[in-house]
Structure 1
């Protein structure tokens, strides 16, 4: 079966909502994708999603018309669930509540979030903080929060699969996860060979459970395994490389998981180039 006729391949990218969230749908289709991710506002500031009912309906209708999905909302970069600081925690919880509510309006099933940094509180306290912060959310039934794996620099949590498992276990919410391949590689999980991919997927299954893996951020890495440096590269052209990416994309346990690209736009290579690259690597 060729990739183009493989109905299980869901691949897309993080698209801009400039001019309205519904514009992300057209951008995704233009790039050749069939699932995707958006921010509801600038991720660098504390800001509320400004999405009215008409815009939400246009987004839903456009997604349905083109048969694309699932979509993921990526939360603000300022959110820090692990923080010991009460004011930052309050802002983080408030921001996440707005995101899950926006997801419900848009018909988006997932909101993705980084755990953040414990900033000296310690790993266990940071994980407790994250779980209890998530427990404060009133998450609509149609929405699931995904905890994303991290590159693990400084005091950021989520670099170890055990961190993800701990938050899922300690929280009262029904949470799942998003695996970022570049982050996992940076955190020390070697995805550059078929053997490494097999070992990493097996470990993820043992520690967290693959039933919790609802999305993958498929990114190659500009830095070596275990460096904790988070900088994305084009699919197959970074240090994970073609062998690792091919093995990951074709892993029998991962074939149905949506792949969302956050690859750079440089060297004349766009999201469309990377999406096509994924299709070429799919067997």
Structure 2
């Protein structure tokens, strides 16, 4: 039987290697971490000793794959100071990834702010969209080929909210290192759901049509505190939100989706972040055959 990869976001407090111990302690076998504060621009490269310890512990515990989640301050549609800081932050992080055996960075692209969709008008790209693509391409040029640039579908009216917009972005980037992370809470809040195989098949066919299935790298599994198609992005523990368990059971057992890593970003039943109880709930959803 194929091993399902179920993990969670964990803290690097006390050293990068501590995140590996934390995920192993709650029963996870894949991992997501921040490289620095998610609400700041500071970036500190671990020394060689710390890197060696992390890699050794990673192999010992068989935690794989591992992803960085980029700082929440990123806005690659900005043509000024914030855009430059966003690029430098990602370049630093994505250059570190291969040294640690990390796949790459999962990224919220940012916001067009006052610029509204559609991104094309009269067959011309809007200026903010041109800035976004230019900045992404610069990051890719300045980072190693082993490091993936993983775009997360957006919640709360940000860039990459719809599958069509994501497809357009990937087409414009035109780089095999650009990949996709799908967050179940964000999908639910933006009008996508799949409570059974038929609905998930329809969703997968839409991904195929938009050339997004070939880009898919990882899933974020989060329940939603808000109703379907609400446009809001507030995560809930698995089974405590409004999505229902059928969606998670369907996703984690479907032959075309069960092969991907599943990463939890839930508040935790004790309010301290992703925990063993959430991971155990997901494990209980896995069909024995």
Q: Does 1:150 align with 2:145?
A: no
Q: Taking structure 1 as reference, are residues 270 and 80 closer, same or farther at Cα in structure 2, changes over 3 Å only?
A: closer
Distance (Å, rounded) in 2 between the aligned partners of 1:24 and 1:213:
25
Could you tell me how far 1:130 is from its partner in structure 2?
Answer: 2.2
Any gaps of 5 or more consecutive residues in structure 2? 120-125
Corresponding position of 1:164? 166
Other-structure match for 1:190: 193
Normalised by the size of structure 1, how large is the TM-score? Answer: 0.91
Deviation at 1:208, TM superposition (A): 3.3
> Secondary structure of the equivalent of 1:216?
strand
Is 1:18 aligned with 2:13? yes
Deviation at 1:26, TM superposition (A): 0.4
Out of 56, 73, 88, the position equivalent to 1:61 is: 56
Gaps of 5+ in 1: 1-5
1:187-226 → structure 2 map (5 Å cutoff): 187-226=190-229
Q: Does the Cα contact within 8 Å between 2:269 and 2:275 map onto a contact in 1?
A: no
Structure 2 residue aligned with 1:91: 85
Moved more, 66-75 or 137-146: 137-146
Q: Are the counterparts in 2 of residues 72 and 112 from structure 1 also a CA contact under 8 Å?
A: yes
Q: Tell me the distance in 2 between the aligned counterparts of 1:14 and 1:254.
A: 20
Structure 1 residues 147 and 157: alpha-carbon distance in aligned structure 2, compared to 1, 3 A threshold: same
Contact 2:268 2:278 in 1 (8 A): no
Greater Cα shift, 251-260 or 195-204: 195-204
CA contact (8 A) 1:109 1:144 kept: yes
Q: State the Cα distance separating 1:58 from its structure 2 match.
A: 1.1
Give the TM-score normalised by structure 2: 0.90
1:1-283 equivalences in 2 (<5 Å): 6-83=1-78, 85-123=79-117, 124=119, 125=126, 126-137=128-139, 138-153=142-157, 156-174=158-176, 175-266=178-269, 270-283=274-287
For residues 183-229 of structure 1, the C-alpha deviation after alignment (integer angstroms, 9 at most, x for no partner) is 11111112345543333232222213312111000111111111111
Query: How much is the aligned-residue C-alpha RMSD, in angstroms?
Result: 1.7
Q: 1:135 to 1:93 in 2, by over 3 A?
A: same
Report Cα offsets for 1:49-80 as digits up to 9, x if no partner: 33122111111111111111100000000001
Deviations 1:134-187 (A, max 9, x none): 11121212111100001142xx11110112111211114321100001011111
| 1:193–1:244 contact (8 Å) kept in structure 2 | yes
Contact 2:10 2:31 in 1 (8 A): yes
How far does residue 270 in structure 1 lie from its aligned partner after superposition?
Answer: 4.9
Shift of 1:8: 3.0
